[in-house]
Amino acid sequence: MGGESLLQPVILCGGVGSRLWPLSRELFPKQLLSLLNEFSLLQNTILRLDGLGISAPFLVCNEKHRFLIAEQLREVDFSHSHVLLEPVGRNTAPAVAVAALQAMGGGVDPILLVLPADHVIHDVSAFHLAVSKAVALAVTGMLVTFGIVPTAPETGYGYILRGEALGEGGYRVGRFVEKPSHEQAELYLANGDYFWNSGMFVFRASRYISELERYAPEMLAACREAVSEARHDLSFLRLDPDAFRRSPDDSIDYAIMEKTLHAAVVPLSAGWSDIGSFDALSECSPQDHAGNTALGDVILEGSSNCYVNASGRLVALIGVENLVVVETPDAILVVARDAVQDVKKIVGTLKAQGRDELLTHRRVYRPWGYYEGIDKGRRYQVKRIGVNPAASLSLQMHYHRAEHWIVVSGTAEVTYDDKTFLLSENESTYIALGQKHRLRNPGKTMLEMIEVQSGSYLGEDDIVRFEDVYGRS
C-alpha cells in the first residue's frame, strides 16, 4: 500500500485464555496452541496477512513468552518481526501505544492494523477486503474497528450499533454496547444494525497518539517513557518496567473508542471467532454426524454434541451428551457445554492454591528446547530433556540437588568444572551438588536425555547462572 498508506500490523500476544484450561496455561497461552490445524493461532494470524502488502509485524507480548513466540515466528519465516516485551500486562490500549510510538520512530506515520493473536478467521479474502475498506477510512483520520456480522444471539460479546454511512462500506459508530442479556441479544440480531465487537482496529499511528493525548494523557506519558528508556535484549525490545507499570490498565475501547468523535466500524462476515471458550472451539472444529468433535485417542458410544480432546491417553465416552472432556498429561477437565464459561473459576481455584497446573504443562519449553516431568517423589524427580541442535543451557550450579544424566539419542557436550567431554547414546554422567556445569547439543539432530534429580530441594529456582546466551544470568 506504500507511501502515506503504509500498513503496519500490530499483533497483540498478551492474552492467557483461562477459559481454555487445561490446554492453555499462563506460560503457554492459547495463542501459542495449534487448536485447528498444524499452525498455532499466532502463526495463523501472521499467515493471513499474506497478500496485504504489509511491513514486518510488531508483536507486543509478555516477556515470559518471548522465546516461544520467537520460535513460532521462525517456523513461519517471520523472524525479522519486531517483538516488544511487556514487563506486566496493561491491557490493549498501552500495548498499541508503545507499538505506535516505536513504529513512528523512524519518521514514518503508518496505518496500524491491530490484531489479537488468538482469533480465527476462515474467509481470508473477505478479511482482506474489509481491511482495505478500513484503511481507506483510516487515511481520512477515522479510528476504525471491525464489527462482526452476528450469526446468533451471543451474550459473551460486546456489540456495536452502527450510525450514519461514511462511504467505503463503513459507518460511524453509533454506540458501544456492553455484553447483553439473551433477550437483548435476540433483539440486536433481529435489528440488523448491531455487530459483535471484534477487538480488531485500523487507524493511523499519529491519530491514535493524538487521541491518547486528548483522552488518556497519563497513559501516553508512561508509554512514551517506556519506549524511550527501552533496551534491546537479543532480538527483543524490553520496555522500561517502571514506566510501563505506571500506565493505566485500559482497553482501546475504554480509553479511546468510546470517547473519540472519529470512531468508525466496517462490517466483517468472514467466519470469525475469538475462541473464547470450548464451546466456540467446538463450533470451529470438525464434527461427526452426532455433533461430536473427537481429537486424539477417543472412543464414543451413544454420545452426542460432545467435544473431546485427548492429548496422551485413551478417553472413552458412553451414553452422554453436551459435555466437554479435555485430557492432558497432568489434568483432566469435564464440564457441561452450557457451563464452559465457568472454566475460569477452576483457574481461580488453582491460583488460590498455588498449583503448578495453572502455570505450565508437564512439558515446559525453554529457549534451548524443553523439559518434561516424568516422575516425582520425596527427594527425587525424573525429567525428559530435549536440547535443540547447536543449543546450550547456561553454565550453572545447584545448591540443593545433584543430577544424573543419561543420553537417549543424539550427542551431549558436558562441561563439568574445568573439563569438557562428549556423551553418546546410552552413556551417562553425574553432576554433584554445588558443581558448575553446562549441557550443550553439538549435533544437527535433537538431543534427548533422561535427568534424575536428587536432593533436599528440587525447585526450578535452585539455579545459579554464571553464563547464559539468553540473558538470564
Give the model's confidence band at 5: pLDDT under 50 very low, under 70 low, under 90 confident, else very high.
low
Helical H segments across 4-163, by residue range: 41-47, 66-75, 92-103, 124-139
Q: Note the pLDDT tens digit of each residue in 64-102.
A: 898 899 889 988 887 667 999 999 999 999 999 999 999
**What pLDDT shows up at residue 4?**
46
Helical H segments across 298-457, by residue range: 343-353
**What pLDDT shows up at residue 470?**
76
Tell me the three state secondary structure of residue 393: coil
Q: Closest Cα partner for 275 from 16, 12, 20?
A: 20
**What pLDDT shows up at residue 84?**
96
Contact 197, 158 (CB under 8 A): yes
Bond from prior residue into 57 cis (ω within 30 degrees of 0) = no
Backbone angles phi, psi at 108, to 5 degrees: -100, 165
Determine the average pLDDT of the residues in 398-406. 96
**Strands 263-268 and 170-177, sheet pairing:** antiparallel
For 3-273, which CATH class?
A: alpha beta
Determine the average pLDDT of the residues in 246-270. 96
Q: Note the pLDDT tens digit of each residue in 307-328.
A: 999 998 999 999 999 999 999 9
Q: What is each CA distance from 70 to 45, 73, 296, in whole angstroms?
A: 15, 5, 28
- Asked whether residue 157 carries a pLDDT value surpassing 70, the answer given is yes
Fold of 363-467: Jelly Rolls (2.60.120)
Determine the average pLDDT of the residues in 427-437. 95
Q: pTM of the prediction?
A: 0.88
**What pLDDT shows up at residue 132?**
96
For cell 477452576, the residue is 346
**What pLDDT shows up at residue 472?**
63
Q: Note the pLDDT tens digit of each residue in 36-69.
A: 989 999 999 999 999 887 888 999 999 889 889 9
Question: What's the CA gap between 426 and 449, in Å, rounded?
Answer: 9
Backbone angles phi, psi at 96, to 5 degrees: -70, -30
Determine the average pLDDT of the residues in 174-178. 94
Residues of the chain with CATH 3.90.550.10: 3-273
- Asked whether residue 189 carries a pLDDT value surpassing 70, the answer given is yes
Cβ neighbours for 3, distance < 8 A, ≥ 6 positions apart:
none
Q: Closest Cα partner for 410 from 394, 383, 389?
A: 389
What percent of the chain has pLDDT above 90? Answer: 83
Give the model's confidence band at 216: pLDDT under 50 very low, under 70 low, under 90 confident, else very high.
very high
CA 451 to chain centre: 30
3-state SS, 326-344, equals EEECCEEEEEEHHHHHHHH
- Asked whether residue 232 carries a pLDDT value surpassing 80, the answer given is yes
Residues of the chain with CATH 2.60.120.10: 363-467
CA 416 to chain centre: 37
Question: What's the CA gap between 291 and 297, in Å, rounded?
Answer: 17
Question: What's the CA gap between 8 and 40, in Å, rounded?
Answer: 21
